[in-house]
């Protein structure tokens, strides 16, 4: 699985002007299931993200994790994270999981985060979404699992 995480002070996602998810401080997680990904990888990625120490402590150092801060996660499906731009000018997406498998793993990943005690909001899989955020830091991290 592939994720792009951003530390945010707030984030929201809407579909056709209908709000589907909104959080205050926490993480915006753009997630893509790749071909061959498994539930074990989704579990490992959720655990890694929940424990990733990228929030400031009292001394201003990145020493606290999402689990430590009580922050929330906004999880948004983003198959374009699988883009292959090595040839030509049009990205290829053949390494992304097929849509039905991508949806299943996207929902599974969100459930895995919830199971760790994180409040999770979601976008809408496969929809044309409007995502807005206030990046905190900025802190943006690419992860593959």
Q: CA-to-CA distance for 8 and 118, rounded, in angstroms?
A: 15
As given in the structure block, the two tokens for residue 1 are 């699985």
Residue 120's alpha-carbon distances to 41, 84, 96, 100, in angstroms, are 19, 29, 23, 21
Quick one: how far is CA 89 from the chain centroid? 26
**Alpha carbon distance 109, 102 (integer Å):** 10
Known catalytic residues?
A: 78-80
């Amino acid at each position: 699985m592939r994720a792009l995480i951003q530390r945010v002070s707030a984030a929201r996602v809407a579909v056709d002007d209908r709000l589907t998810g909104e959080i205050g401080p926490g993480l915006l997680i753009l997630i893509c299931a790749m071909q061959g990904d498994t539930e074990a990888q989704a579990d490992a990625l959720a655990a890694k993200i929940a424990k990733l120490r990228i929030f400031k402590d009292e001394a201003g150092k990145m020493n606290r994790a999402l689990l430590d801060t009580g922050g929330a996660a906004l999880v948004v499906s983003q198959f374009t994270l699988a883009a292959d731009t090595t040839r030509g000018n049009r990205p290829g997406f053949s390494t992304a999981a097929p849509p039905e498998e991508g949806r299943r793993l996207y929902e599974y990943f969100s459930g895995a985060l919830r199971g760790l005690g994180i409040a999770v909001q979601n976008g809408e899989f496969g929809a044309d979404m409007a995502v807005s955020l206030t990046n905190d830091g900025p802190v943006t991290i690419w992860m593959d699992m």
